[in-house]
Chains A and B, each alone.
Chain A
């Protein structure tokens, strides 16, 4: 069953713009019961479903087509109260379109979105959602305080303005004009507008873009305070470490479809959480491909690299077969590699022109 040689190049998965790395990795498109098949993780277990409470948000087979382009393609998911969920995907994966539809800025071509049991438009207009989009702008010619006061006034049960200014870390420049702020300051003002309404759901699209490292750290500290108050948080990001550290749950989407859904640990495990490498003189490739837990295999001369979901089992099987490899190393894979593996496998399985290069 194992087909060796249907590899792909990870660096080609998102048009080269992300800088996720350019290692050449070959994938065995091995079908296993406990791991997703080449059909691209078609059976996604819904992590949220096991938790209690009515969903805050639910997407039911939601699609958005622009002509022939399927920006979002049959997306189904639930967000539960109190969860912090990261929406992860390469550029053009459909993250922004999904958030736009959730926030009633765009209408799905088909499918149904519900928020707090009603349609997105009414949920937004009832003030139960606070949002910060990359495409959202600010009113010019007013001070930060005036702007926050205005948007606070639009919400039915808002936070006091001074509290918002403090939480968002913008109190010290509250009397400056909005059109004279730096990129990072502007971003914090937008964040203030997302939290000033004391909304139950907060939606953030790439919230820490244009922030420096320190500001980013402060941002997540204040974000965690919001979550601690029982709010539900959904954020899109391309900073994988942010998703790893801040999120309870990660949704990986690629080309408009949900590929994986689980805790950061589960996502890493799903993609093969560890990399085993060793040297072996007489490499028996069919044997290696049959190893338990194997997700990816890479062989160069006598160097073998295996990506495995169960590194212990994989390694024991090698030893049990009588092999005595040298220079054994077992390392953890980050979310980044996991993410790459998941999206790249999807691209390979769906005939991405860059995928399918033979060894």
Chain B
């Protein structure tokens, strides 16, 4: 395990230098919140300021766990870095576990910064436990996308993974209602996305102080699907990585 932790640490320290990562996970959500956050509207029964705070924190964390990992894993597989690691005493699953551990660390800034912005710029007020539960829901919820990133990164080459990742990223952002609250037919469709479940869990906590079991089940089902895809992808490439 210590080897895996070492690798995770190296992953985090290398991300700190990556401008693209900072732009997508922190700068962009912050900018959007500053521009659009103060509208007088509602979303899922809470104020827009609170909704948009949840949406932007999820957007940043989603980007951190998904975009970044997908492209890197694919590139590192092609470059032979994964292969090089297989020649070291690092455990067989060490690379993937380190990526997920690193994601756990690198999605935290998006959530913390946007939440601070929501509190002090947007003026969102709620009991401390709600802040904590919302932050955890977004943090754990978006981590399931690290598993999807592993699946795509192992299966697709860098050239083809980029457009696929962008399509999935926008699809789950828009139809999951990260940018604006869904209603009507769009909501009927978007309800099935994992991003919608994550936002809904948080807004339910803020508005009603409770969580709907169906949304938790939704996240778990997507988690199982992504992990299964990741496992298949890693196994199928065991001899070519």
Contact = CB atoms under 8 A, between A and B. Distances in A.
A146 B3 CA distance: 14
B184 interface: no
A197 to B, nearest CB: 7
A142 B87 contact: no
A306 interface: no
A141 B18 contact: yes
A217 interface: no
Interface stretch (B6-14, B23-31, B110-118, B134-142): B6-14
A193 B10 CA distance: 16
Contacts of A107: 239
Given A150-B6, A150-B7, A125 B91 contact: yes
B84 interface: yes
Contacts of A105: 83, 86-87, 239
* Interface size range on A against B: 20 to 34
B10 A150 contact: yes
Interface string B64-93: 000000000001101111111011111110
A78 B152 CA distance: 41
B84 A133 contact: yes
A324 B160 CA distance: 73
Contacts of A125: 89, 91-92
Interface string A130-148: 1101011111111000100
A138 B84 contact: yes
Contact of B3 (A129, A138, A153): A153
Contacts of B82: 137
Residue of B3, B6, B79, B84 ringed by the most chain A CB atoms within 10 A: B84
A209 to B, nearest CB: 14
Contact of A136 (B7, B14, B83): B83
A154 B81 CA distance: 14
Contacts of B80: 133, 135-137
Contacts of B188: none
A106 interface: yes
A141 B87 contact: no
A151 interface: yes
Nearest to B6: A153
Given A154-B3, A154-B90, A142 B79 contact: no
Contacts of A124: 86-89
* Interface size range on B against A: 20 to 34
Nearest to A134: B80
A141 B6 CA distance: 16
Nearest to B7: A150
B79 A140 contact: yes
A156 interface: yes
Contacts of B78: 137
Contacts of B81: 136-140
A62 B8 CA distance: 37
Contacts of A91: none
A17 B169 CA distance: 45
Contacts, number: 82
A103 interface: yes
Given A139-B76, A139-B81, A150-B6, A156 B89 contact: yes
A139 B7 CA distance: 10
B160 to A, nearest CB: 19
Interface in B1-59: 2-3, 6-7, 10, 13-14, 17-18
Interface string A97-119: 00000011111000000000000
A72 to B, nearest CB: 14
A279 interface: no
A349 B3 CA distance: 50
A175 to B, nearest CB: 14
B97 to A, nearest CB: 14
Contacts of B3: 153-154
Contacts of B10: 139, 142, 146, 150
Nearest to B16: A141
A133 B83 contact: yes
Contact of B89 (A138, A140, A154, A193): A154
Contacts of B239: 105-107
Given A139-B76, A141-B14, A141-B17, A129 B87 contact: yes
A135 B76 CA distance: 12
Given A150-B6, A197-B89, 16 more contacts: A105-B83, A127-B88, A129-B87, A131-B87, A133-B83, A135-B83, A136-B84, A137-B81, A137-B84, A139-B14, A139-B81, A142-B10, A154-B6, A154-B90, A156-B89, A190-B84
Considering the complex of A and B, which 6 residue pairs feature the smallest CB-CB distances, nearest first? A137-B80, A137-B79, A136-B84, A137-B81, A127-B89, A131-B87
